[in-house]
Chains A and B, each alone.
Chain A
Amino acid sequence: MEHYNMNLNLKVWRQQNGKSKGEFKMYRVEDISSEMSFLEMFDVLNEKLIQDGEEPVAFDHDCREGICGACSMYINGKPHGPWQANTTCQLHMRAFKDGDTVVVEPWRANAFPVIKDLVVDRTAFDRIIQAGGYISVNTGNAVDGNALPINKDKADASFAAAMCIGCGACVAACKNSSAMLFLSAKVSHLALLPQGEPERHSRVINMLAQMDKEGFGACTNTGACEATCPKEISLTNIAMLNKEYLTASLVADK
């Protein structure tokens, strides 16, 4: 792979805190190696800002290997930038060329209020999980792991849904700011397993109610979430969620 260096113009959203009004600021970064990750390019920018006596750009990041789900930049009109099935931290500067202007915005959704610059508050996701995204089994209550064989296809499908990293790109990409892909990934993950069966109905009803309460929009099946998901969580999970909801609400007692 050929390496090259580039100069870039960055248009970055700056916002002091949740209450203040934000605005875009232009920055120029020079001699960026194509080998760098996108966040390493931001490290360069921040070092420069610190030396210039300005506050560095705040952004969420942690593992920098695409699995913790902390990083969350909306880059040139797409969550996590131009590459498919990718997180911001794994986006590398090979994706850009000399002289490019890169626009970086935070996730935009009222349910994800901005904390500072590009950092948003995603605790709404935790509260959705609290509403039922688990199997109620206390430590020490488990039977042998092989006591209950699970159809491999179902186990694989469950795993594919469980790969969700909770980054919120689906919400950021959705024109309705819906968290339906996130919610459906958890509902499918657990509904596909026999262990999830006992709480199957209450889970979907309660988790959906929490999602609505948080102020996310409703799904209109446009598929933008699926197209942007770093873990390629499938839109069929949303269809499955709908099925789970319909069944659960039809057989409800009250």
Chain B
Amino acid sequence: MLDAKIPAGPMDDKWTDYKGHCKLVNPANKRKLEVIIVGTGLAGASAAASLGEMGYKVKAFCFQDSPRRAHSIAAQGGINAAKNYQNDGDSVFRLFYDTIKGGDYRAREANVHRLAEVSANIIDQCVAQGVPFAREYGGLLSNRSFGGTQVQRTFYAAGQTGQQLLIGAYQALERQVALGNVTMYSRHEMLEVVMVDGKAQGIIARDLITGTLERHFGNAVLLCTGGYGNVFYLSTNAMGSNVTAAWKAHKQGAAFANPCYTQIHPTCIPVSGDHQSKLTLMSESLRNDGRIWVPKKQGDTRKATDIPEEERDYYLERRYPAFGNLVPRDVASRAAKERCDEGYGVGTSKQAVYLDFAAAIERYGKIEVSKEGRTGVGKDEIIALGKEVVKEKYGNLFDMYEKITGENPYELPMRIYPAVHYTMGGLWVDYELQTTLKGVYCLGEANFSDHGANRLGASALMQGLADGYFVIPYTIGNYLADEIYNKPVSTDHPAFAAAEKEVNDRLVTLMNIKGKQSVESLHKRLGKIMWEKCGMARNAKGLTEAIAEIQALKKEFWSDVKIPGTIEGFNPELDKAGRVADFIELGELMCKDALDRNESCGGHFREESQTEDGEAMRHDDQYMYVAAWEYAGESNWNLHKEELKYEVIKPSQRNYK
């Protein structure tokens, strides 16, 4: 079932060779071919723009009111690229190596190498589009460092890199809309893939304003629908982020790969109470200057500023002297959880650690003073100068923290705790980004391909744009070149009618349950099960329980959910109900996958598999594979394994000490 279609030849040449030999579609034929793109984040918008430019007829769909609101916009820190502008020894190979290692040797080498190769082009493309990256005084691009690497290769636009990149892609997309190459369907949600003769020929989409179902033909369907972190209810994802489109494809036959690989981001604002609807990330870039610590004494209730230096435990610096506060996300998150579980947590909930900028403020203040060549400057003035520097670098993040918590992070250390942030798993795709469902492609976070079991910071933006700008324009031609011989399927085709009926029946069923529990309350309960039993640390007992609990919850959902309003018209509760129903099914599969993988790797930590000092332990002999799950009816999946063969890099236990 799984053919990754990795081109033969040496790693360095695979992508070049592929591009040199893949099939092309002539311009006159491109006009006749329609491509459906679902989702308009970095992957979707860049793909829609690029394919539109090439001459394909593109239809793009997003559930938001404008493509510019896709959640890529919230990415803060930056985007990696092997430019080596800093002359610090970076190269395509190093980016490739760091990504594979960061992913704990669970990613496909060929895909990652391609990602590293095209990374530099992304920066060039974005600059040309007018993305205002941060610059040095000489007018050249600035870089910063990010967790899990030892070079400075991250390009950024203050703390709003995702926003700027997405606006760039959005503008390119809107340009194609203006030129008539792309038709935009906003406030639309894809609810089914239409399969004709074994390949995708369109989708059923629902107009979220009127509630009507629409049939759309397409020679290929690209799912660029982002991650499924909201299965945990509380995550840094947007409220609307969902798995529905990918899940529909999965149920039609697209394999879902590595669903259990979830990234828990170490620096998020802690939960403040039961009312919490989402969590907010504080960019990883803060770890460049912030020091993470907890009190040395358990249950210390003193104010952070009252705890003297010698009674603070800078546990990351202590445990991982080589990388210190810049260890990869999975390592930092687990270390925070470990401290809190041991009773060293801070804040009212005791589920938080400190991220402290006092040292950085003083250091920057001293640099400012020495720049001016002054001596004998008082401490207060040094601190004031340092605060200015920190404000320049992280001002917007500090403001956001203060708005949410009501605390001033320039005076008090931030309180942070890990939160669900990104999902490395997703629809299984081959080298061409095609799923196991013919004609259905998957790009960006929605696919599983490039980050293995853990994603490094500033790599998500890179992958989304690589897939959309530089990979799919080539690989889709290889498929569509054969589509020109087929007549477009009419939307009156029975397959369309059947798919539409299926979608409609499901909506009617949902509306007719008329139970007692709100969608939100059921989603919260799902999230609680997932976080407690399939969260930062997992074990066989918990996962087995979780599966049973989720199955029970599913029954409850389908017999007792309460959805107000009607199918016709704008009804966000109904939209949400459909999404939560899919999350429940996905949650079960995630637990199943986590249970199957009895090793610790990247974001997946099995308590049964750890070293003596509590570090994650992989079992390459048993689990060096991608777990691709094929849907086989309710609560039933078949596991297919794609062996991971490392030709270039030799897997080793990760060591950030």
Contact = CB atoms under 8 A, between A and B. Distances in A.
Do A and B touch directly, given a CB cutoff of 8 Å in the complex?
Answer: yes
Interface of A: 1, 16-17, 33, 35-37, 39-40, 43-44, 47, 49-51, 53-56, 58, 60-70, 83, 85-86, 90-92, 94, 115-116, 119, 121-123, 125-126, 129-131, 133-146, 148-152, 155-156, 158-159, 162-163, 165-166, 189-190, 193, 195-196
B124 to A, nearest CB: 4
B272 to A, nearest CB: 4
B275 interface: yes
B157 A116 contact: no
B564 interface: yes
Contact of B570 (A43, A67, A119, A130): A119
Contact of B137 (A67, A142, A152, A158): A152
A129 B69 CA distance: 14
B615 interface: no
B71 A55 contact: no
A141 B209 CA distance: 38
Interface stretch (B404-412, B481-489, B531-539): B404-412
Contacts of B170: 129
Nearest to A32: B275
B600 interface: no
23 contacts: A16-B569, A17-B570, A35-B273, A50-B518, A51-B518, A55-B564, A63-B71, A64-B280, A66-B403, A67-B163, A68-B238, A69-B69, A83-B403, A115-B570, A123-B65, A126-B174, A126-B184, A135-B171, A138-B53, A139-B53, A145-B124, A148-B127, A149-B139
A92 B124 contact: no
A40 B157 CA distance: 30
B71 A145 contact: no
Contact of A1 (B127, B158, B407): B407
Contact of B209 (A44, A115, A149, A152): A115
Contacts of B238: 62-64, 68
B66 interface: yes
Interface in B243-273: 272-273
A33 B272 CA distance: 10
Given A1-B406, A139-B469, A68 B160 contact: no
Q: Top 4 A-B pairs ranked by shortest CB distance?
A: A149-B139, A1-B406, A134-B171, A142-B128
Which of A136, A145, A155 lies at the interface centre, i.e. has the most chain B CB atoms within 10 A of its CB? A145
Given A61-B239, A159-B158, A193-B132, 12 more contacts: A37-B277, A40-B277, A53-B564, A62-B64, A64-B238, A65-B281, A66-B403, A119-B570, A139-B50, A146-B85, A155-B133, A165-B73
Given A90-B400, A139-B53, A143-B128, A35 B272 contact: yes
B518 A62 contact: no
B186 interface: yes
Contacts of A162: 130, 132, 157, 164, 167
Nearest to B158: A159
A145 B130 contact: no
B175 A56 contact: no
Contacts of A69: 68-69
A64 B65 contact: no
B33 to A, nearest CB: 18
Contacts of B129: 134-135, 137, 195
Nearest to B208: A115
B501 interface: no
Contacts of B158: 159
B470 interface: yes
Contact of B178 (A43, A51, A116, A130): A130
Given A68-B238, A122-B66, A47 B520 contact: yes
**Size range of the chain B interface in the assembly:** 35 or more
A138 B470 CA distance: 12
Contacts of A36: 273, 275
B572 interface: yes
B521 interface: yes
B155 to A, nearest CB: 8
Interface in B557-575: 562, 564-565, 569-570, 572-573
Nearest to B573: A56
A143 B564 contact: no
Nearest to A141: B128
Contacts of A136: 175
A39 B238 CA distance: 13
A40 B177 contact: no
Contacts of B221: none
Contacts of A158: 130, 132
B73 A135 contact: no
A150 B142 CA distance: 12
B444 to A, nearest CB: 16
Interface in B114-145: 121, 123-130, 132-141
* Dominant secondary structure at the A interface: loop
B642 interface: no
Contacts of B139: 149-152, 155
Nearest to A90: B403
Contact of A90 (B136, B163, B404): B404
B276 interface: yes
A196 B53 CA distance: 19
Given A159-B158, A162-B132, A195-B130, A67 B239 contact: no
Contacts of B403: 66, 83, 86, 90-92
A125 B521 CA distance: 35
Contact of B136 (A123, A148, A152): A152
A163 B128 contact: no
Contacts of B136: 152
A130 B177 contact: yes
Which of B127, B240, B473 lies at the interface centre, i.e. has the most chain A CB atoms within 10 A of its CB? B127
A112 B227 CA distance: 31
B564 A39 contact: no
B172 interface: yes
Nearest to A65: B280
A33 B273 contact: yes
A5 to B, nearest CB: 11
A155 B133 CA distance: 8
Contact of B275 (A40, A91, A122, A152): A40
Contact of A92 (B138, B164, B404): B404
Given A159-B157, A195-B128, A17 B65 contact: no
Contacts of B134: 155, 159
B410 to A, nearest CB: 15
A58 B564 CA distance: 12
B83 interface: yes
Contact of B174 (A40, A51, A54, A133): A133
Contacts of A125: 66
A2 B569 CA distance: 43
Nearest to B209: A115
B431 to A, nearest CB: 20
A134 to B, nearest CB: 4
A140 B236 CA distance: 33
A45 B399 CA distance: 28
A55 B46 CA distance: 38
B420 interface: no
A155 B74 contact: no
A142 B53 CA distance: 14
Which of B65, B140, B178 lies at the interface centre, i.e. has the most chain A CB atoms within 10 A of its CB? B65
Contacts of A143: 124, 128
B276 A68 contact: no
B594 interface: no
